[in-house]
Chains A and B, each alone.
Chain A
Amino acid sequence: MRAGALEAWKPRDGEWDRAAATHLYRRAGFGPAPGDVEHALDVGFEAALEALLARDGHDPALLNGVKHLLAAGSIDQLAAWWMSLILAGGAPLRERVTLMWHDHFATSNAKVDDVRLMHRQNALFREHGLGDFRELLHAAAKDPAMLNWLDGNDNKRGHPNENFAREVMELFGLGIGHYTETDIREAARAFTGWGTQGRAFRMREADHDPGPKTIFGRTGDFRGEDAIDLVLAHPGCARHVARRLLEELVAPRPKEAWIDETAGALIELDWRIGATVERILRSRLFFGPEARRARIAGPVELVAITVRALGARVAPRDAAEAAAEMGQSLFRPPSVKGWDGGRTWINAGTWLARHNALADVAAAHRGESDAVEVDLSVALGAAESRDEVAAMVVGNLVPDLDDPAYVNALRAGAESCESVDDALALVTAAVLTSPEYHLL
């Protein structure tokens, strides 16, 4: 049943423009690299989308090279490694979805304190993130890092750990309100015996509470896997996943009608995340006004999109640190709720961090940065006069902004510069640090 918001978008003449292409690349990946948008406009919407979906191969040296880092035990290094995959852009949609699951199944190294386990969880999201959600939920629940984090290790017959059961229901599977406290207690009993041995999942039968449990009105000698199947069978689950996908790809606080439609699509597509995401990316909803500039960019996406858009050279370690200073430290979400996002990204300190990092990138054009190398004219174009600079930069960095006063203010600023190069650096700095740029 294809009706309403998820109906396929058929752009009329002129609708597949810079703004639309940029929107696609920024939401479905981490932004376009120089030349991507021009190419997309050349080949048309369908071909561009297909190409984006097909771009799914990381450089093996980078992907596999991580094994040399794990023994050293530095989570900062692992974060830098993940950032290097994001910046390289070898598999944009896959990394986007990996970051989404990292936030959804939020697990922090602050407690887990084990780089190998965090990597293993990250690899799980990368491999199965676009696959069948049912398999993903089962695997994520048994992931040793997750069990460590939620004290799922401490789950014994007679002392069931409700923490784990609660988060499986509330955060991962259903969302608030679809379960009762009894459901949680009973599910906790079902999960008894689950634990880890060293770095592997281990089921201890002796610790398992074998009797009958009643969950969501169904009774049986449920084990942990059964409890998860019950969560998946609950009508709220597909909606919860659908809501998550819409929050990530479309807008915060998605409408109920959209959620209904997307949940239906998810089930129709056999719980395959990749196919559902594709359905969303093709939709009128995705390219409609409600999705454009709908949310405040988070730190990792802000850093990655900016670095890629400008063709800048930054060490992945510095990029990951910049995002951490802005409030998003990969592998260290503040709590099991993940990063709340939206306006909570912004306070005095984080805005200062955003400002300083982005101003640094623009200043690198004049060689004034220690961490960044960039030639803005390569990415933004070679302007012939200072007058052209403002329109050029705006058209590239905030293409769907329709605000003549904004451009005029920038033009006036460009006039006061001594050279085209200076104007380019100044205008870029002003645009990057302006609130308009931080709306994704």
Chain B
Amino acid sequence: MNLERILPLGALLLLPVATRGVLHDPPAPIAPERDVATLIPDRAVFYVDAPGMPALLEQGLDHPFLKTLLASPLGQLLQTEMEASPEELLAVGEALLGAPVLPTLASMTRHGAALASGFGPKGVAWVLVLHGDDDLIAEEVLTKIFDQLESQFEAPGAFDEPHASVRGADVWYLGDDVKIARRDALVVASSDEGYLRDVLDLAAEPSAKGLAGRASFDEARETRSDEQLLWGWVDLKRVEAVANWSGSGEKMKELRAMNGQPAVQMLLGPGVAALGTSETATFWIATRGAELELGLAGQGVEPAEVLMPDPSRDAPPAPLPHADDCGSLLVYRDLAGAFAHRVDLFPPEMLPKFSKATTDLALFFGGKDLGEDVLPHVSPWIRVVARHPRFDEGVVPEIPLPAAAALVKVDDPATRGPELTAAFQTLISAINLDRAQKGMSPFVMQLETVDGVFVTRAHYPPPGPEDGVDMIYNFVPAAAMVGDVFVIGTHASVVRDLVGEIASGETRPVEGASEAMWLDGPALARVVEDNFDALVMQNMLDEGHDIEAARQEIGGLLGAVQSLERLDAEILYPDDDSVEVRATLVLHADEDEEAVR
């Protein structure tokens, strides 16, 4: 053993170790095209980034969606709430930064911006990563912010020098709560030192994957696209584990229990119910012109298979657009399946409700068993159409409301027709019995034919001169079997129209049905308009306002609804274990204004 040779060799070997904390090769600059998600520690459970942010920032208030929003009554309302116009706010920001706000922010987020959160030693931790395109701008901005802080906390010079250096980045500590770091054009802020260091470590390793390396994150990113203003991801499984452990698991338990609740399954449907079981969830906001899209998706869901939509079952036809339309929805509700498999699907304490429902409804179906004899013959695809009815009997209710009608396909109309019609008649009789016991007039049933189809309807006798026109006059229930479609609705005028449309084939056939809905903005606005005075009075009584303030509030509500042109929503199943809910809001773009410009 030659000690003289070993020692220098050993020293050479030890050199990197010895100098590690003291002298480190400065890390390579971060590649501009680097995915910002690779800079986020993989223990994050929540992540949000803004793919379309730079474009939004470039356009500023010229962004088409923002422009339409601000011009609309809803936008006016929001601005009055805010007490300062967007221009004013931008001017304030400019004074602060010494440079125009939007281009500055655009530069600082050019190559990515993300906010993430996770669990740290002190509880929930957050970290913000901004990957810009200009070192100097980043430096300037931080300096300006630090100057502000120094003058606010009366600690001049406190931030002149960085407090530490980590992996080549300058780090400043703002008390115990926030740490800020900058390397080149990368700015990182966090409430947790560990997270900050992790980000800087990831930034220093060009091939590091960070959060993007997690399979559940990567797969979920299929819902992300570059035009989205915001895209987020949550690791529900991990959140649940920590919530249970820390004793605040109530909300999570409720979420997870949604799938097993008959009420949720029947009202919101199997897709939404299944969302509660997702392992991870993503959400996003995107704009296209005057449209706003909102999305929510769950991955790794465990739906109640039996209740999931089956496109091979028949869906009722879709009526052509009608001037009085308020909206329409198509849902899949396999009530027969729910009944048949209830022991497996739902917890024991829910079961008495099924017994009760069977007992109660057997009355309407002539003693037949709801679960076995009736439901299996009705297709689970149910379409509901909402339209303003025509109050053509001359009796207009003081509070007019839209009417709704449901359409379902049945097998064997020759049997189902009489069965369901009889059930409708029994329902009206039961209502009449109840009204008789209270000394009120009954509904009068009539049979009429529309295009050769029998329509059963019931109307309430017209009010006397002193009686006023109560809410009940919104209801002229009617039902009919047209072809193999059963139609039942709250107002006969709508049912008649639909019967006519279906009988004459003025409908759109539906293939590959999916659960979807749409709402017509102007039709909704009409409901508010029709009932403006009543809403004002109610506001006065419920909020204690005087009439002026109440009129303003309800006026604001009306404006907000009038800003909406249309709302569409759909439930999609991209693959076996994911569910997506997409909603699109279209703002009312005032064409006259455009023309004047």
Whether A81 sits at the interface, judged by CB under 8 Å, is: yes
Interface segment out of the listed B70-78, B534-542, B560-568:
B534-542
A399 CB, nearest partner CB in chain B, Å: 27
Give Cα A10–Cα B74 distance, bound, in whole angstroms: 62
Whether B398 sits at the interface, judged by CB under 8 Å, is: yes
Give Cα A197–Cα B441 distance, bound, in whole angstroms: 11
Residue in chain B with minimal CB distance to A115: B470
Q: Which residues of B contact A148 (CB under 8 A)?
A: 439
Give Cα A113–Cα B540 distance, bound, in whole angstroms: 24
Q: Do residues B534 and A72 form an inter-chain contact, with CB atoms below 8 A?
A: yes
Interface segment out of the listed A62-70, A285-293, A331-339:
A62-70
Give Cα A81–Cα B463 distance, bound, in whole angstroms: 25
A window 2-29: CB within 8 A of B? none
Q: Do residues B464 and A198 form an inter-chain contact, with CB atoms below 8 A?
A: yes
Whether B466 sits at the interface, judged by CB under 8 Å, is: yes
Whether A237 sits at the interface, judged by CB under 8 Å, is: no
Q: Do residues A69 and B534 form an inter-chain contact, with CB atoms below 8 A?
A: yes
B467 CB, nearest partner CB in chain A, Å: 5
Give Cα A317–Cα B464 distance, bound, in whole angstroms: 31
Whether B399 sits at the interface, judged by CB under 8 Å, is: yes
24 A–B contacts from the bound complex (CB under 8 Å): A59-B547, A65-B533, A65-B547, A66-B537, A68-B398, A68-B534, A70-B398, A70-B468, A71-B397, A71-B398, A71-B468, A72-B471, A72-B534, A80-B542, A84-B541, A116-B468, A116-B470, A198-B463, A200-B466, A200-B467, A314-B544, A316-B540, A316-B541, A317-B541
Q: Which residues of B contact A316 (CB under 8 A)?
A: 540-541, 544
Give Cα A61–Cα B544 distance, bound, in whole angstroms: 14
Whether A313 sits at the interface, judged by CB under 8 Å, is: yes
A window 318-335: CB within 8 A of B? 318
B528 CB, nearest partner CB in chain A, Å: 14
Give Cα A146–Cα B421 distance, bound, in whole angstroms: 41
Q: Do residues B464 and A113 form an inter-chain contact, with CB atoms below 8 A?
A: no
Residue in chain A with minimal CB distance to B532: A68
Give Cα A199–Cα B440 distance, bound, in whole angstroms: 11
Q: Which residues of A contact B544 (CB under 8 A)?
A: 313-316, 318
A72 CB, nearest partner CB in chain B, Å: 6
Interface core residue of A66, A153, A198 (most chain B CB under 10 Å): A198
Whether B438 sits at the interface, judged by CB under 8 Å, is: yes
Whether A73 sits at the interface, judged by CB under 8 Å, is: yes
Give Cα A131–Cα B114 distance, bound, in whole angstroms: 75
Q: Which residues of B contact A116 (CB under 8 A)?
A: 467-468, 470
Q: Which residues of B contact A62 (CB under 8 A)?
A: 540, 547
Give Cα A315–Cα B470 distance, bound, in whole angstroms: 26
Q: Which residues of B contact A317 (CB under 8 A)?
A: 541-542
Give Cα A317–Cα B471 distance, bound, in whole angstroms: 22
Whether A77 sits at the interface, judged by CB under 8 Å, is: yes
Known: A71-B468, A198-B463. A77 touches B399 (CB 8 A): no
Q: Do residues B467 and A71 form an inter-chain contact, with CB atoms below 8 A?
A: no
Contact of A198 among B467, B469, B471 (CB under 8 A): B467
Give Cα A68–Cα B543 distance, bound, in whole angstroms: 17
A325 CB, nearest partner CB in chain B, Å: 17
Residue in chain A with minimal CB distance to B468: A116
**Could you tell me which A residues sit within 8 Å of B by CB distance?**
59, 61-62, 65-66, 68-73, 77, 80-81, 84, 113, 116, 148, 153, 197-200, 313-318
Q: Which residues of B contact A70 (CB under 8 A)?
A: 398, 468
Give Cα A193–Cα B533 distance, bound, in whole angstroms: 40
Q: Do residues A315 and B543 form an inter-chain contact, with CB atoms below 8 A?
A: yes
B window 520-555: CB within 8 A of A? 533-534, 536-538, 540-544, 547
Q: Do residues B547 and A61 form an inter-chain contact, with CB atoms below 8 A?
A: yes
B397 CB, nearest partner CB in chain A, Å: 7
Q: Do residues A198 and B540 form an inter-chain contact, with CB atoms below 8 A?
A: no
Give Cα A316–Cα B471 distance, bound, in whole angstroms: 24
Q: Which residues of A contact B471 (CB under 8 A)?
A: 71-73
Q: Which residues of B contact A69 (CB under 8 A)?
A: 534, 537-538, 541
Known: A68-B533, A71-B471, A72-B534. A77 touches B466 (CB 8 A): no
Contact of A197 among B464, B468, B470, B540 (CB under 8 A): B464
- Interface 1/0 per residue, B53-82 and A, CB below 8 Å: 000000000000000000000000000000
B395 CB, nearest partner CB in chain A, Å: 12
Q: Which residues of A contact B469 (CB under 8 A)?
A: 71
Interface core residue of A73, A81, A315 (most chain B CB under 10 Å): A315
Q: Do residues B470 and A199 form an inter-chain contact, with CB atoms below 8 A?
A: no
Q: Do residues B537 and A65 form an inter-chain contact, with CB atoms below 8 A?
A: yes
Q: Which residues of B contact A313 (CB under 8 A)?
A: 544
Give Cα A268–Cα B60 distance, bound, in whole angstroms: 82
Interface residues on chain B, number (Cβ under 8 Å): 24
Q: Which residues of B contact A197 (CB under 8 A)?
A: 464
Give Cα A22–Cα B467 distance, bound, in whole angstroms: 43
B562 CB, nearest partner CB in chain A, Å: 21
B window 561-583: CB within 8 A of A? none
Q: Do residues A77 and B468 form an inter-chain contact, with CB atoms below 8 A?
A: no
Give Cα A68–Cα B534 distance, bound, in whole angstroms: 5
Q: Which residues of A contact B399 (CB under 8 A)?
A: 71-72
Q: Do residues A80 and B541 form an inter-chain contact, with CB atoms below 8 A?
A: yes
Q: Which residues of A contact B467 (CB under 8 A)?
A: 116, 198-200
Q: Which residues of B contact A81 (CB under 8 A)?
A: 537, 541
Give Cα A80–Cα B537 distance, bound, in whole angstroms: 11
Give Cα A73–Cα B439 distance, bound, in whole angstroms: 16
Q: Which residues of B contact A314 (CB under 8 A)?
A: 544
Residue in chain B with minimal CB distance to A196: B439
Known: A71-B469, A71-B534, A116-B468. A77 touches B541 (CB 8 A): yes
Residue in chain A with minimal CB distance to B441: A198
Give Cα A413–Cα B439 distance, bound, in whole angstroms: 59
Residue in chain A with minimal CB distance to B474: A71
Give Cα A119–Cα B251 distance, bound, in whole angstroms: 45
B3 CB, nearest partner CB in chain A, Å: 78
What 7 new A-B contacts, CB under 8 Å, besides A71-B398, A71-B471, A77-B538? A68-B534, A68-B537, A71-B468, A73-B470, A113-B438, A313-B544, A315-B543
Give Cα A85–Cα B221 distance, bound, in whole angstroms: 59
B533 CB, nearest partner CB in chain A, Å: 4
Residue in chain B with minimal CB distance to A69: B537
Q: Which residues of A contact B466 (CB under 8 A)?
A: 198-200
Q: Which residues of A contact B542 (CB under 8 A)?
A: 80, 315, 317
Give Cα A55–Cα B464 distance, bound, in whole angstroms: 37
Q: Which residues of A contact B468 (CB under 8 A)?
A: 70-71, 116, 199
Q: Which residues of A contact B398 (CB under 8 A)?
A: 68, 70-71
Residue in chain B with minimal CB distance to A153: B439
Residue in chain B with minimal CB distance to A81: B541
Residue in chain A with minimal CB distance to B438: A113
A68 CB, nearest partner CB in chain B, Å: 4
Give Cα A84–Cα B537 distance, bound, in whole angstroms: 11
Give Cα A59–Cα B545 distance, bound, in whole angstroms: 14
Q: Which residues of A contact B439 (CB under 8 A)?
A: 148, 153
Give Cα A59–Cα B468 distance, bound, in whole angstroms: 23
A374 CB, nearest partner CB in chain B, Å: 12
Q: Which residues of A contact B547 (CB under 8 A)?
A: 59, 61-62, 65
Give Cα A113–Cα B463 distance, bound, in whole angstroms: 17
Give Cα A32–Cα B537 distance, bound, in whole angstroms: 26
Give Cα A80–Cα B539 distance, bound, in whole angstroms: 11
Give Cα A153–Cα B439 distance, bound, in whole angstroms: 11
Q: Do residues A84 and B464 form an inter-chain contact, with CB atoms below 8 A?
A: no
B123 CB, nearest partner CB in chain A, Å: 28
Known: A73-B470, A113-B438, A317-B542. A199 touches B464 (CB 8 A): yes
B107 CB, nearest partner CB in chain A, Å: 44
Q: Which residues of B contact A68 (CB under 8 A)?
A: 398, 533-534, 536-537
Give Cα A318–Cα B467 distance, bound, in whole angstroms: 29
Q: Which residues of A contact B470 (CB under 8 A)?
A: 71, 73, 116
A422 CB, nearest partner CB in chain B, Å: 26
Residue in chain A with minimal CB distance to B473: A71
Interface core residue of B439, B466, B540, B544 (most chain A CB under 10 Å): B544
Give Cα A327–Cα B468 distance, bound, in whole angstroms: 31
A114 CB, nearest partner CB in chain B, Å: 9
